[in-house]
Amino acid sequence: MQVRKMTCTIGAEIFGVSLGDASRDAGLAEAIKEQLLEHKVLFFHDQNITRAEHAAFARYFGDLEDHPVAGSDPDHPGLVQIYRNDKRENYENNYHTDGQWRETPAMGAVLRCIECPPVGGDTIWVNMVEAYKNLPQEIKDKIDGLKVKCSIEHSFGAVMPEEKRRELGRNNPMVEHPVVRTHPETGEKILYVSSFSTHFANYHTPENVRFGLDKTPGASMLLNYLISQASIPEYQVRFRWKPNSVAMWDNRCTQHYAVQDYWPAPRKMERAAIVGDRPF
């Protein structure tokens, strides 16, 4: 296996590996996991693998999860189809960590390109360990112990008719996560707010709030400031897709953004998201 770093902070290309082989070889999958923990997102080229191999490789790291809005391949449950055809859809271009609206968000994902536009449709990943590390100390002190509420209803649900949106919310009630989570395997501290985060759960205390204005708009300004850290280029890597390119990311410590500049060209991706633990 050859490894080539793509930036100083995040991402590496992996050469000399077939993910089809890795789906049948625990030792190889383990070696890939080691690289994932180090680089946070890995890129593989020319992976002409079957859907069964794609799902089996991802399943080596844990169970796969379906998505309540995006459908899965009927023959391969857990292989979510992210297909954009000639209809303009505008809900994907926002920095996010997958499934932050779940009690146990995905630990990672393996995304394969089936079809991509001739130009455009790149994906950006962000190192949220770096984002936390570089926060000013006074902000780190302020967010220590803060919890954030996260919801799918206001994101994926926003484009739905009202009754469907509310049903999505009833089936996926809002959850609460630490604003700073700890990586369960590396121990790194991670800034854990994204476009799924709606408000702080426990900001309104006498230390934080002298007058109402310290909470409204004070708390939302702080949340927006934290969310905006994902857009700092120094924490990012940007990947240009080709059919059969694969990206695998550690979803606990990264965010991503699918650049939506290619419409009306089609773009078809298939994603196996791996069930994770409750953030702490």
Chain positions contacting ligand SIN, by CB under 6 A: 82, 92, 98, 111, 123, 256, 258, 269, 271
User: What secondary structure letter does DSSP report for 241?
Assistant: -
User: What secondary structure letter does DSSP report for 40?
Assistant: S
256 is catalytic: yes
Q: Considering the complex, state which of residue 108 and residue 200 has its C-beta at the smaller distance from ligand SIN.
A: 108
User: What secondary structure letter does DSSP report for 278?
Assistant: P
Q: Considering the complex, state which of residue 98 and residue 130 has its C-beta at the smaller distance from ligand SIN.
A: 98
In which element (H, E) is residue 79 found? Answer: strand 79-84
**Choosing from 96, 112, 177, 181, which is the catalytic residue?**
96
Contact 91, 69 (CB under 8 A): no
Q: Considering the complex, state which of residue 146 and residue 248 has its C-beta at the smaller distance from ligand SIN.
A: 248
In which element (H, E) is residue 20 found? Answer: helix 19-22
Give the separation between CA 95 and CA 251, rounded to whole angstroms. Answer: 12
Q: How far is the CB of 92 from ligand SIN (least distance, A)?
A: 6
**Choosing from 112, 252, 256, 267, which is the catalytic residue?**
256
Residue 243, preceding peptide bond in cis (omega within 30° of 0): no
Strand partners, 2: 15
Q: Considering the complex, state which of residue 210 and residue 240 has its C-beta at the smaller distance from ligand SIN.
A: 240
Tokens (6 digits) for 195: 């476009």
**Choosing from 84, 98, 102, 112, which is the catalytic residue?**
98
199 is catalytic: no
Q: How far is the CB of 233 from ligand SIN (least distance, A)?
A: 18
Tokens (6 digits) for 126: 């962000």
Q: How far is the CB of 254 from ligand SIN (least distance, A)?
A: 11
Q: Considering the complex, state which of residue 82 and residue 209 has its C-beta at the smaller distance from ligand SIN.
A: 82
Q: How far is the CB of 187 from ligand SIN (least distance, A)?
A: 26
177 is catalytic: no
**Choosing from 39, 102, 181, 271, which is the catalytic residue?**
271
Contact 165, 158 (CB under 8 A): yes
Q: How far is the CB of 269 from ligand SIN (least distance, A)?
A: 4
Helices (H), 60-208: 128-133, 137-143, 162-171
Give the separation between CA 65 and CA 276, rounded to whole angstroms. Answer: 10
98 is catalytic: yes
Contact 203, 214 (CB under 8 A): no
Strand partners, 239: 123
Q: How far is the CB of 72 from ligand SIN (least distance, A)?
A: 13
Q: Considering the complex, state which of residue 82 and residue 275 has its C-beta at the smaller distance from ligand SIN.
A: 82
Strand partners, 82: 269
- Residues annotated as catalytic (active site), given as ranges: 96, 98, 256, 271
